A and B are shown apart, each in its own frame.
Chain A
Amino acid sequence: MRAPGLALRSLLPFLLGLPALLALQGSLSDFWASVLITAGVNVILAVSLNVVNGFTGQFSIGHAGFMAVGAYTAAKITLAAAGWAPAGLPPRLADGAVFLLALLAGMVTAALAGLLVGMPSLRLRGDYLAIVTLGFNEIIRVIIENTAFLGRATGLSGLPRRTTFAWAWMGVIATVVMARRLLGSTHGRALLAIREDEVAAEAMGVDTTGYKVKAFVVSSAFAGLAGGLLVHLIQLCTPRTFTFVKSIEVVVMVVLGGLGSVTGSAVAAFGLTLALEGLREVQEYRMVAYSLLLIVLMLTRPTGLFGTREAWDWLPRLPWRRRPEEGA
């Protein structure tokens, strides 16, 4: 009796989301599908980075590095499984199963990379994490460019196109559900406490190092998911996709949306992707645009568009959204 109830509550967003996404998918042109997939990937990146930079108050600027780890892992798996057609299984189902496995594997390797980077650097306070993640981003690039197995600078090509609109946005749902559920739990509050005052959080019994590492590992896993999704859209996996510029792009999205706001990150990532899509000619000047955007933001609205609030905090206080009263 309890198990089905748990499964339903736990999976409800996915059960509601999947049919809606599949229905929408049918009516999308190829162009819009690929724009929206890109936007979805960026939403995953921004929301997951927000777990570290927004919730926990750390400063990671190497998200693209973890994205690369997930992307290459997933790409290697789908390439290896190309042409694999088990008897008795419809090919589309087999492809889907392989892709799901590839994405999950990408999340695991990205999480391991996060553990490797986070363990030593999160022990120390301050800007150490920024430097280490930046370095990690570059190291990953250098490693890829020098590894034949990973296709060196030219990368891995000929990937199957597996990322549909529904796949990408199921990933978005997973990321947002993770972030919101974390935030609503005692573990999420411990992360916020670390952001607010690390000394006090530690004194109140929060294992601050352990929590920072856990948040970083979870965040890295979802960066890996975004990587896996992206390369199975563009059908190409090269180190150029995962440079420092990409990492900064994600940081800009998080800061723009508001450090600590899940909906803020999502809206900013979505909006910025569409804006970039509309301004293809000026893409080369992205870094300049980001710098200007950050400067304007710092001058006019340093907390980002949403601050630490969520979109629904602006809704009128409806009867069923009343604050929990005492004793409730």
Chain B
Amino acid sequence: MSAAGVAAPAAGGEGGAAPVLEARGVTMRFGGLQALAAFDLRLEPRELVGLIGPNGAGKTTAFNAITGVYAPTGGEVRVGGARVNGERPHQICARGVARTFQNIRLFKELSALDNVRVACHLGARAGWAAALALTGGFLRDEARLTRRAGEFLAVMGLAHRRDEPAKGLPYGEQRRLEIARALATGPKVLCLDEPAAGMNASEKVALMELIRKIRDDFGLAILVIEHDMRLVMGVSERLVVLDHGVTIARGTPEAVRRDPKVIEAYLGDSYLEERHIAVPDDRPGRKS
């Protein structure tokens, strides 16, 4: 029901294939504030793209405009070729765009399993009447959703937390649970908003590895916001840099990191100085 009209990810992943996600001149204005100006993005199947920029650059706003939390004030968003402006977030999710939240938004009182099962909801076939009558179809459907949710928990290394309420999980696991939940919606594009925020250095490296593995195993396109330049450069194939809502650079990590506008934006934020990450020259353990 959900995926109707959405092109499946191109099998060969050839360059010329239709982008799974496309933003054309997306603009987001809050009163007098232009939080995002003429934002362009083409995300090909299986691409891993980093979205970076100083605080308040408009990164989260870009996610919100893409996923329908806000209706863009200008431009258009296309998912699998179809224009989705004005659609509600659940509709855009059904088209195959899933996301996590910068300020973790788990269903706190629900168990880890139930958090993921809610996200499996799109795949549910039995309706309310079947649930209330306890039909065989409904019971099989529930068993299937539960199995599926358990698999996503396992992928994110959370199988041991299955029955624990989400609010009780350690911070790093809560972030991973958010990713498990997003994956369970069966996306073609995964948007991760600072998935490593608040983690320690080794957790961050492990998470980036995991993100790359998810991309490979599930064949997803991933758009990731991350403050740690070294990390995001290590994991992404392409970067888009925002500053004050404006896209100031885009390209390979090597090109972006030498871009004077990027250095200026980050220096202006005294970001690189603070974190001693001027020009990353080693990239965290890249496996081929």
A residues near B, CB below 8 A?
2, 5-6, 9-10, 177-178, 181-182, 184-190, 192-193, 196-197, 199-209, 214, 218, 308, 323-324, 326-327
- The A-contacting residues of B in range 169-188, CB under 8 angstroms, are 181-182, 184-185
Assess the A308–B131 pair: CB atoms within 8 A. no
If over half of B's interface residues share one DSSP class (helix, strand or loop), that class is named, otherwise mixed; here it is helix
> Contacts A6-B136, A10-B134, A178-B132 given: A208-B105 contact, CB under 8 Å?
no
B residues near A, CB below 8 A?
2, 67, 69, 88-90, 93-94, 98-99, 101, 105-110, 114, 117-122, 124, 126-128, 131-136, 138, 141-142, 145-146, 150, 159, 162-163, 181-182, 184-185
Q: How far is the CA of A326 from the CA of B114 in the complex (A)?
A: 14
Pairs A–B under 8 Å by Cβ, sample size 28: A6-B133, A9-B134, A178-B132, A181-B131, A181-B132, A182-B128, A185-B138, A186-B124, A186-B126, A186-B145, A190-B118, A192-B109, A196-B108, A197-B106, A199-B69, A200-B107, A201-B118, A202-B89, A203-B98, A203-B101, A203-B105, A204-B184, A206-B90, A208-B90, A209-B88, A308-B109, A326-B159, A326-B162
Closest to B118 in A: A193
3 closest A-B pairs (Cβ-Cβ)? A185-B131, A196-B107, A200-B105
Closest to B91 in A: A207
Q: How far is the CA of A184 from the CA of B131 in the complex (A)?
A: 8
Assess the B132–A197 pair: CB atoms within 8 A. no
Q: Which residues of B contact A199 (CB under 8 A)?
A: 69, 89, 101, 105
Chain B nearest CB, measured from A310 CB (Å): 14
Closest to B116 in A: A204
Closest to B107 in A: A196
Assess the A206–B107 pair: CB atoms within 8 A. no
Q: Given A10-B135, A185-B138, A207-B88, output 17 extra A-B contacts at Cβ < 8 Å.
A: A178-B132, A181-B132, A182-B131, A182-B132, A184-B142, A188-B131, A190-B118, A196-B107, A196-B109, A197-B106, A201-B107, A202-B89, A204-B118, A204-B119, A205-B121, A308-B109, A327-B150
Assess the B2–A205 pair: CB atoms within 8 A. yes
> Contacts A196-B110, A205-B119, A323-B163 given: A10-B133 contact, CB under 8 Å?
yes
Closest to A327 in B: B150
Assess the B109–A185 pair: CB atoms within 8 A. no
Q: Of B119, B131, B134, which is within 8 A of A187 by CB?
A: B131
> Contacts A6-B135, A192-B107, A201-B107 given: A206-B162 contact, CB under 8 Å?
no
Q: How far is the CA of A6 from the CA of B139 in the complex (A)?
A: 11
Most buried by B among A193, A197, A201, A324: A193
Chain B nearest CB, measured from A44 CB (Å): 16
Q: Which residues of A contact B136 (CB under 8 A)?
A: 2, 5-6
A-B contact count (CB 8 A): 121
Chain A nearest CB, measured from B57 CB (Å): 21
Closest to B114 in A: A189
Assess the A205–B94 pair: CB atoms within 8 A. yes
Q: Which residues of A contact B146 (CB under 8 A)?
A: 324
Q: How far is the CA of A192 from the CA of B136 in the complex (A)?
A: 24
Q: How far is the CA of A51 from the CA of B272 in the complex (A)?
A: 52
Closest to A191 in B: B118
Most buried by A among B67, B114, B134, B150: B134
Closest to A188 in B: B131
Assess the B128–A205 pair: CB atoms within 8 A. no
Assess the B90–A205 pair: CB atoms within 8 A. yes
Q: How far is the CA of A15 from the CA of B15 in the complex (A)?
A: 63
Q: Of B2, B88, B107, B122, which is within 8 A of A197 by CB?
A: B107
Q: How far is the CA of A207 from the CA of B121 in the complex (A)?
A: 10
Assess the A203–B67 pair: CB atoms within 8 A. yes
Q: How far is the CA of A200 from the CA of B185 in the complex (A)?
A: 12
Q: How far is the CA of A204 from the CA of B114 in the complex (A)?
A: 12
Q: Of B106, B117, B134, B142, which is within 8 A of A200 by CB?
A: B106
> Contacts A186-B145, A193-B107, A326-B162 given: A202-B121 contact, CB under 8 Å?
no
Chain A nearest CB, measured from B277 CB (Å): 31
Q: Which residues of A contact B109 (CB under 8 A)?
A: 192, 196, 308
Closest to A204 in B: B119
Assess the A207–B90 pair: CB atoms within 8 A. yes
